[in-house]
Amino acid sequence: MSRQLTPLFTKLSSSVCAQYFAHVPSPTRTKVSERGSIFLITILCCFSSCASAAQAGSLAHHSFWETLMRFFSLQDTALQTALWGVLLLGISCGVLGSFILVRKLSLMGDALSHAVLPGVAAGFLWTYEKNPLIILLGALLTGLLGSAAVGWLTQRTKIKTDAAIGMVLSGFYAVGICLMTYIQKLPTGNKSGLDHFLFGQVAALSTQDIWLMGSVTIGVLVGVFICYRAFLILSFDMAFGKSLGLPMKALHYTMMLLLAFAVVVGLQAVGVVLVSAMLIIPAATAYLLTDQMKVLLPLAAFIGIVTAFIGAFLSFVGDGLPTGPLMVLSAGFVFATVFCFSPKHGWLTRVIRHYLWRRQVARENALKGVYQLMEAEQFKIEGIALDDLALRRHLPIPIVKKHVRMLFKLDLVTIDKVTEKIYLTPEGWHIACSVVRKHRLWELYLTQECHMASDAVHEDAEEIEHMIGEDTVRALEKRLKFPNKDPHGRLIPSIQDMWQSSSYKVTGADEERSKDE
C-alpha cells in the first residue's frame, strides 16, 4: 500500500505546499517550499507506511481495494453504525474538549475518563450483561465522583491539583481494573465484551449503542447551547462571573457532567484509556487555527470527526486492530501538521517568518551601511569597497560578503568585477534612502516630541527603521513639519531624493516641503 500511495501523497503534498507558500512574498519562495514539501512528504510517508503496517494482517483474505470499496460504498450496515458512532464521538468530544482546553483542565479530562472505568464494570456487575443504559449511568456516576474527588482533595487537604488529578486517575482506574479482572474470571466474563471499553472497537457498536450515544450527544449540545455564555464567563473570567452572582461552582459541575457525557460517548469507540486524547487533540488543533471560541467549537468538532473517521477507516482496513490507538494516532498526525503549518500560530510558519524578517533586516542594514559610507564622502564617490563596508558595520568580512551577494542577487547593487567595488542600483538607493529616512525621522520625533536626549535615541531608531511603513513615515514627516536635518545635524533624505536614478545625492529638498513653506 505504501508503494501505491506514496507517489500520490508526494504529488498531493507538493501541490499543497506550493499553494500554501504561493502567498509568501519573497524571493526565497521556491527554496522554502521545497524544504517544506520535503518535510511534509516525510511525515506522510511515515504515516502511509504506518497504515500499511496496520493492515498487513488483513491482506490474506481481502484485497486492499475490495476493502476500500466496501468502506466507501457504505453498504455495510455495521459500517454505517460505526460511522454514526464516529460522527457523534467527534461532535461531543470536540465541543467539550474546547472548553476544558481553554480552562487549562486538559488533565482533568484524563482523570475523568479513567474514573469512568469502575462505573462501567459496576454497571456490568449490576445486571451481569452489557446493558448500555446501566453502564452509562454507572460511568456517569463514577465520572462525577472522580471530578468531585479532585475538588475535595484540592480544597480540603494541602495536596496540589496535579497530585490530586493523578491520584483520582490511578486510584479509580485501579478499582476499575480490580472489578474488570474479577469479571473476566466469571464464567460469562469472557463474552462480556467489556474489553472493548479499554481500547475501543468501533465495529462492536450496536444500533442500540448508537441511539444512546446520539441522545447523549444531543444532551451535550443542548447543555452547551443553553449555558454557552455562562461557560464562556466560567472559562475566561471567573471573578467577573462571581461578581455577577452566577453560581460558578454549579456551572463547573454542570460542565463536568457534560464532560462525563462526552467521555461516555467516546467510550466504546476509543476506549477509557485514550478518550481524553480525543477530547484534547482536536481542540488543541483547532486552537492553533482560530482565536474565536465561536469558531473553535465547530472546528474542533469537525477535526474530531475527520480524525475519528480516519481512525475508524484504518481499523476497518486493519481488520480487528483496536480503534482507539488508530484514532489517536491520526489525530496526533493532524495536530503535528497543523502545529507546523498553521498560518497564524504554526511553528514552521513562525520559523519561516522569523527567517524572512532576519533577512530583511540584514538587507536593509547592509544598504544603510553603503549609504552612510557614500554620505561620509559627501556623495562624491559611488563605488564602495567591501572592506570599508565591513569596517563600518563592525562585522567580519565573510558575513558582509554574504550580505552583498544577497543584495546582488536581488538586483539591489552591482559589483564591479575589476575593482570589486559596490554600486547601488536605483532600487537599492531607494531602499537605503527610505531606511535612513525612517531612522532619522524617528530620532527627530523622539527628541522633539518626546523630549528625549539626542544621544539616547539611536538604539530605538535602529529597531523601528525596519518596522514602520511608508504611510506612517509620511505622517511623521508632516507632524515634524517637513524637517531636513536630524538631531545630529545630518540631512534626512526626502521623497525626491529617494527617486533619483542617475546621480545619487541627498539635498533634503522636497516638493511638498517647498509647497508647505
Partner 1 sequence: MSELLSWWAVAPWQTGQGGYFWALLMGFLVTASCGLVGNYLLVRRLSLMGDTISHSILPGLVLAFLWTGRRTSWVMFVGAVIAALVTVFLVDLIQKGSRIKQDAAMSVVFTVLFALGVLLVSIFAHQVDLDQDCVLYGEIAFVPLETLISVGGVSIGPPSVVRMGIVFLFTLVSVVLFNKELLLSSFDPGLSTSSGYSAQKIHLGLMAMVAIIVVSAFESVGAILVVAMLIFPGATASLITDRLNYIHVLTIIQSALSTLGGMYLALWLDTSIAASMVVVSMCLFALVWFFNPSYGLISTLVNRGVSKDKTLETE
Binding site residues, partner 1, CB under 8 A: 53-54, 56-57, 101, 104-107, 109-110, 114, 156-160, 162-163, 165-167, 169-171, 173-175, 177-179, 181-182, 185, 198-199, 273-274, 276-277, 280-281, 284, 287-288, 321-322, 324-329, 331-332, 335, 339, 345-347, 350
Nearest approach, Cβ of residue 216 and partner 1 (Å): 22
* Nearest distance, CB of residue 335 and partner 1, angstroms: 6
Nearer CB in complex with partner 1: 300/400:
300
Q: Write down the least CB distance from residue 300 to partner 1, Å.
A: 12
For partner 1, the closer of residues 178 and 475 by Cβ is 178
Partners of 422 in the β-ladder: 384, 415
Question: 409: exposed, middle or buried (C-beta count within 10 Å: 0-12, 13-18, 19+)?
Answer: exposed
* Whether 28 contacts 359, CB under 8 Å: yes
Whether the CB-CB separation of 317 and 58 falls below 8 Å is answered with: yes
Residue showing cell 476497518: 316
Q: What is the secondary structure of 271-298 as a DSSP string?
A: -TTTHHHHHHHHHHHHHTT-S-HHHHHH
Which of 317/407 has CB closer to partner 1? 317
User: Which residue lies nearer to partner 1 by CB, 294 or 344?
Assistant: 344
Q: How many angstroms separate the first and last alpha carbons of the chain?
A: 77
Identity of the residue, 224 or 327, whose beta carbon is nearer to partner 1 in the bound complex: 327
Cβ 15 to partner 1, closest distance in Å?
Answer: 26
d(CA 436, CA 36): 35
Q: Which residues contact 385 (CB under 8 A, 6 or more apart)?
A: 420, 421, 422
CB 484 to partner 1: min, Å: 46
Residue 214's Cβ-side half-sphere holds a number of Cα atoms within 13 Å equal to 11
Shortest Cβ 239–partner 1 spacing (Å): 20
379: alpha, beta or left, given left = phi > 0 and alpha = psi -120 to 50?
Answer: left
What is d(CA 80, CA 203) in angstroms, rounded to the nearest whole number? 10
Closer residue to partner 1 in complex, CB, 119/346: 346
Give whichever of 261 and 333 is closer to partner 1, judged by the CB atom. 333
* Minimum distance, C-beta of residue 445 to partner 1, in the bound complex (Å): 34
Find cell 524578517 and name the residue: 357
Residue (81 or 342) nearer to partner 1, CB? 342
Cα–Cα distance list, 398 to 92, 355, 415, 416 (Å):
59, 20, 16, 18
CB of 432 to partner 1, least distance (A): 35
